[in-house]
Amino acid sequence: MNEMPGLYRIAVLPGDGIGPEVTAEAVKVLKSVEEINGPLFRFQTGLIGGAALDATAAPLPAETISICDNATAILLGAVGGPQWDSKRPEIRPEQGLLQLRRRMALYVNFRPAKVLESLIALSALKPDRVRGTDLVIVRELMGGIYFGNPRGIFAKNGERMGVNTEVYREHEVERVAHRAFQLARLRRRKVTSVDKANVLETSRLWRDVVTRIGRSYGDVELEHLYVDTCAMQLVERPTRFDVVLTNNMFGDILSDEAASLTGSIGLLPSASLGERTALYEPVHGSAPDIAGRNRANPVATIASAALMLRYSCRMESSAVAIEAAIERVLKRGVRTSDMHGKKRPVTTSRMGDLIAEQTRKLLKSSQFRRK
């Protein structure tokens, strides 16, 4: 039987820990979209991380690379776990993800953090401080201290010395800045660029380039903050932020801080974008302590699938339907075990069932149209 024209090829990489459980629920919700709109996706599953190491001795096998090379988008669960901690750094599970980002040239990461009224009591902050928070951290993903050379642990003058190098090239800053300003135009038209320009030369270059790019977006407000000030303001005045643009390491740290505003890291999706393809994954890790117990929160992975529909498949109405379905289910008081609630927590699969069911209902309504 020939494949139907126009199907989006989705590479599904469940990975380790709770990854297989949460990706299964995201696929379930995507299939609920197909039930209303007809065939849309061709799913192909591949190994990555520790699961790939166990099966092939490589964290990113050639077969997985082939699947991803031919995919419209990649849906990832999680990588890593304590059973692989003794592996050499170059073949640890996390290397599979880093190699994939490099190979696919995924240079920018979007991490939304929105506080839902129904979950406001779960936030680490008081309701009156966090209410209305709706921001996106735009993190540069292929440069900076995580990739710079030289790096390593060396012996010098009789003692060990650890070296990591922060490197940014002008074009790397330019392309991620454009993405941030373009995103801000679709939101509240404000970019906060975060650096440490009072100390670091790479940050001085960053600030100079972002300022120059900002002149091309006269309809978007640009402000600069030092990273320590931004970290403080995220706690004191989180509603002041719209799009937060920053480098690889600062973005890694600030996005986890932003997660605490929402009440659970199990709620937060992310999108890693390049020019040709994109990877979608939850912000949380592999949570090996609850793996295989049907207790994980699949919302972040389902929300990541919604981002996939928005950015890779250009299916805005279906993306909005999934996001609205998540909000409606949570508003009804449905909770997984990571979220406090008066009711007994539901299982991973039950949460997926409820969101899939609500997605179908919304897509059938006159409010939503396939795009």
Catalytic positions, please?
Answer: 146, 196, 228, 252, 256
User: Which pair of structure tokens corresponds to residue 256?
Assistant: 């986890």
Q: Specify whether the CB–CB gap between 50 and 80 falls below 8 A.
A: yes
Reported as type and span, the H/E element at residue 333 is: none
Q: Specify whether the CB–CB gap between 117 and 131 falls below 8 A.
A: yes
Of 370, 282, 265, 271, the residue nearest 25 (C-alpha): 282
HSE-up (13 A, CA, CB side) for residue 50: 19
* Whole-angstrom distance, CA of residue 253 vs CA of residue 53: 28
* Whole-angstrom distance, CA of residue 224 vs CA of residue 278: 28
End-to-end CA distance of the chain: 27
* Whole-angstrom distance, CA of residue 256 vs CA of residue 273: 19
* Whole-angstrom distance, CA of residue 120 vs CA of residue 66: 43
Peptide bond into 150 cis (omega under 30): yes
* Whole-angstrom distance, CA of residue 48 vs CA of residue 44: 13
Residue 13 φ/ψ, nearest 5 degrees = -115, 90
